[in-house]
Structures are given as C-alpha cells and as structure tokens.
Amino acid sequence: MVDFSNKAVDFATLKKRAYNQRWAEIPEGVIPLTAADSDFPCAPEIVDAIVEYSKKGYFNYIPNLGMPEFRQSISRALKTRKNEEIDPDLILPIDSAARAMSVISKAFIKPGDEAIVCDPVDYLFKTNMEAAGAKIILFPTKIVDGKIDFSDLESYITPKTKMFGLCNPHNPLGMCYPKEDLDHILSLSEKYGFYIMNDEIWSDIIYPDSEFTSIYALGAERNKNTLSVFGFSKSFSIAGLRSGCVYCTDPDNFEQIVTASEVRSTVGGISSLSQIAGMACLDKCYYWVDAFREHIQKNRDYALERLRAIPGVTCHTPQATFVLFPDISAYGMKAEELTAYLEKEYKVRIVPGGDRFFGPGSEGHVRICMATSHEILAEGLNRVEEGLKTLWAKKQDQSV
Ligand SMILES: Cc1ncc(COP(=O)(O)O)c(C=O)c1O
C-alpha cells in the first residue's frame, strides 16, 4: 500500500530541493500547484537500486549508447504497458525527455523547414523545433465532442513541412487520441513525408474511463518516420535525475538521432545512476505508478467539482495526465494577470496560459497541477476559489 496522504509529503525537503516554480523557488507561504512534478518521494525500489549500484564506488564510463540492460527494460516496458514493438537497439537512453525532443529536432530539422506545433501544447515542442531552425506553424488545438479535432490539420501542411509534434497524451489538455485520429495524422505524414515527434511521457497516467493508444498500434512499417520520446519525470517522480529516451523503428533514422545526440563523443549522454533509476522504475515500480494514478484520479474528481462550482470557470475532464486546464476567459483578464493576482493576494501559484508556456491559443486558461496530497490541493483550491469569487463579485459590481 503506497502512502499518498499528506503525511507522505516531506515539505522541509521539498523546500530545499523542488525547483521549477515549486516549493524551493516560491515565496514562503505560497502553495505551488505549478510545474508537472510530484510532491511525493519516488518509490523505495528506485532509491535502493541507486544505493546498491553506488556501494562499489565504481562510476566508470558506461556504453555510449546506454546500458544494454536499460535499453532492454525500456523495450520490455513499451511492449507490456503500451503494446509497442521496439527493438532495444533502436532505443537511445538520454538525459530527459526535453533532451530527447532537442535531439530529434536537431537530427531532422534544417533552417527554413516548417514544423507544425499544436496550440496549446507544452512549450518544449516549439522551443526545440525553433532552436533547430524551424519556422513554427501553430495548429489551433481544440476539443470538439470530447476529443481533439484534427479534421483541419491537412490545411496547415506545406511542401516545407518537416515535422509534426504529437503530444500523446496531450499536456495541458490531458487528452488521449482515438486510433482513427492517429491514423489520420500518420496518413498525412505518409502522404507528405514529414516526421512525427511522438512524445509519450504522459502515457502511464491514464484514467480508467479512458484508454491510451500509441501511434505504433498502426504498425511498425507505417511508423518509420515516427521519432518517439519517453521520460520518467511525470510517472515516477524522478525529474531531477534527468532520465529519458528516444526511440524509433528505422535504423537509419536511429543513426541520425545518435549522431545529433553527441553520445559517441561523450559530449551528450546520461549518467549511470539515472539509467539505474530508470531501470528500477520500469522493472519494479509500475505498482507505484498505478497507485499514484488512483490517488490522482481522486484529486481530479475532487478538483473538477470544486472548480466547476466557481462562477466564470469551466473545465473539461482530462483523460490523462495530472494537470487540469480550466477556462477562465469569462474573467476578461490575461491569464498572467490573473495568476499574479492569485499569488499576491491569495498565496497560491498556478501556471498561466498564454504564449510563454503553452502557446497563444492557451490564453484565457490556467494550468493546475494535482500531483500532491488531498490536503494541499484542497487548500490551494480554497485560495483559488476565494480569489476568483472576490474578482467575480467585483466584476458583477462594475457591470451594474
Ligand atoms: C509533454 C512533455 N514532454 C516533455 C517534458 C519534459 O520532461 P523531462 O523532465 O523528462 O525533460 C514534459 C514536462 O512537463 C512534458 O509535459
């Protein structure tokens, strides 16, 4: 039985160690429901594996393309958890999903190419593709009839389109993709010859009323130009270890990825301890992920009820991830302005929509992270509710 109660949260340590808009980085007394990082310690098996490996005191160079056992355990987990058939030789362990996105971009994008990025989506798609020289074409990403609507995607494709960023499941919308939509995207990639950057970092946090389908369900042969990203920060609570991987099904594409990663020269690479941790995650800790997901589901249902009771707030039900993405456009303020007000006056920090984190199409929304205890989430939501209700009342007064 894994403990996800408030007792399991070690605030003193989080205040020293949890950066990226979280406890160690925010003013005293503010609750951060911000970066997608958990307030819970990782599973004990991960700590044990790191300690056991470290005991001998040998931290020599390891294989440039990653520890073979780690590559095998990734391949096994992709098969058993996601039904993806990936050869361990076509998996490159790397220091984070963010790095995986950077390496894929560098390997396949040349200055002048166009890359289609969903709007909204996590900023890492845009920043990495742009850094590799791409002109970013934003694809307005809306939920229609309970799923993301890709019906218009083809009209965004030009002869210069080199890559499409697929965030499956989608952060921050929390949506999974039905097989027919993945088929549509893949058919366009086949027709026009662009690559798909397929980021599955969120694929272990799926609510039971939904289902994760990987694009690989459409067959390895059709997925030759799919370049995939996986990481351990979201499901396993080890963001600071910077562990992740890139994988694909085509050996030539793999070779290009390896070249761009600079692992052969040791300029790039992932530490042995981060690989040991990643291996422990996949081989021993899915029981923990599943218990974590159950806890998050309770948080999701609770938070949705609370948010939907606040005047002027609407929020769709996410199918995956531990973030909520409520629409606050009825307040008539920029999301950054609203979140700054909540932090200053009500001591809760949430992530604003807008260009900076998710794209211009995310304006009028905020993102709330639920990877914490019920108590912290409840107190954070009390503050959000109080702040918004006060704003709403002022707005009503002004309109009289
Ligand atoms: C969709 C997506 N990809 C990649 C990342 C980065 O993960 P990592 O910590 O492994 O770099 C995140 C983090 O929020 C994410 O949401």
**pLDDT given at position 399:** 78
Report the pLDDT averaged over residues 172-184.
Answer: 98
User: Is the distance from the beta carbon of residue 37 to the nearest atom of ligand 1 less than 6 Å?
Assistant: no
Atom 15 (ligand 1) nearest CA: 122
pLDDT in tens, 82-103: 999 999 999 999 999 999 999 9
- The structure tokens listed for 183 are 């088929």
Question: Which residue has 């039985």 as its token pair?
Answer: 1
Tell me the CA–centroid distance for residue 396 and ligand 1, in Å: 39
User: How far apart are the CA of 96 and the centre of ligand 1, in A?
Assistant: 8
CB of 321 within 6 A of ligand 1: the answer is no
Instruction: Write the single-letter amino acid at 225.
Output: N
Nearby residues of 248 by Cβ (< 8 Å), 6 or more positions away = 86, 90, 223, 224, 226, 227, 228, 254, 257
Q: In the beta sheet, which residues pair with residue 115?
A: 136, 163
For residue 201 and ligand 1, the question of a CB distance below 6 A is answered with yes
For residue range 182-210, list pLDDT tens digits in order.
999 999 999 999 999 999 999 999 999 99
Are the C-beta atoms of 142 and 121 separated by less than 8 Å? no
Is a pLDDT exceeding 80 seen at residue 400?
Answer: no
236 contact partners, CB below 8 Å, separation of at least 6: 42, 43, 46, 281, 285, 288, 289
Q: In angstroms, what is the span from residue 174 Cα to ligand 1's centroid?
A: 13
Residue 81 near residue 204 (C-beta atoms within 8 A): yes
Average pLDDT of the chain is 97
Q: Quick one: which of 131, 132, 87, 136 has its CA closest to 107?
A: 132
What pLDDT, on a 0 to 100 scale, did the predictor assign at position 260? 98
| For ligand 1, mutation pick of 21, 37, 122, 129 (most atoms within 8 Å of CB) | 122
Helix (H, G, I), strand (E, B) or coil at 11: helix
pLDDT per residue as tens digits for the range 288-340: 999 999 999 999 999 999 999 999 999 999 999 999 999 999 999 999 999 99
Q: CA 296, 298, 302, 304 torsion: positive or negative? A: positive
Element (H, E) at 165: strand 161-167
Q: Is 98's C-beta closer than 6 angstroms to any atom of ligand 1?
A: yes
Phi, psi of 164 (to 5 degrees): -125, 135
CATH domain 6-41+286-399 topology: Aspartate Aminotransferase, domain 1 (3.90.1150)
121 Cβ below 6 A of ligand 1: no
Rounded Cα–Cα distance for residues 7 and 40 (Å): 10
Ligand 1 atom closest to Cα of 243? Answer: 10
Nearest atom of ligand 1 to the alpha carbon of 231: 10
pLDDT at 1: 86
Q: At residue 246, does pLDDT exceed 90?
A: yes
Q: For residues 223 and 204, give the distance between their C-alpha atoms in angstroms, rounded to a whole number.
A: 21
- Tens-digit pLDDT profile for residues 100-128: 999 999 999 999 999 999 999 999 999 99
Which tens digits make up the pLDDT trace of 18-45? Answer: 999 999 999 999 999 999 999 999 999 9
Distance CA 134, CA 118 (A): 14
Q: Is the CB–ligand 1 distance for residue 244 below 6 Å? A: yes
Q: Is 36 in the pocket of ligand 1 (CB under 6 A)?
A: yes
What's the confidence (pLDDT) of residue 40? 98
Task: Report pLDDT for 398.
Answer: 86
Nearest CA to ligand 1 atom 14: 36
* pLDDT greater than 90 at residue 52: yes
pLDDT above 90 (res 16): yes
pLDDT digits (tens, 9 = 90+) for 341-399: 999 999 999 999 999 999 999 999 999 999 999 999 999 999 999 999 999 999 888 87
**Over residues 243-261, mean pLDDT:** 98
Q: How far is the CA of 94 from the centre of ligand 1 (A)?
A: 13
CATH fold of the domain at 48-284? Aspartate Aminotransferase; domain 2 (3.40.640)
Looking at the DSSP assignment, which residues form a beta bridge with residue 198? 166, 228
- From ligand 1's centre to the CA of 12, what distance in Å? 25
Parse the chain into domains and list their residue ranges: 6-41+286-399, 48-284
Q: Are 322 and 35 in contact (CB under 8 A)?
A: no
* 98 Cα–ligand 1 center, Å: 6
DSSP string for residues in 357-390: TTBGGGTTBEEEE--S-HHHHHHHHHHHHHHHHH
Return the best residue to mutate from 104, 171, 270, 369 for the ligand 1 pocket (most ligand atoms within 8 A of CB): 171
Q: Is 59 exposed, middle or buried (0-12, 13-18, 19+ CB in 10 A)?
A: exposed
**201 C-alpha to center of ligand 1: Å?**
7
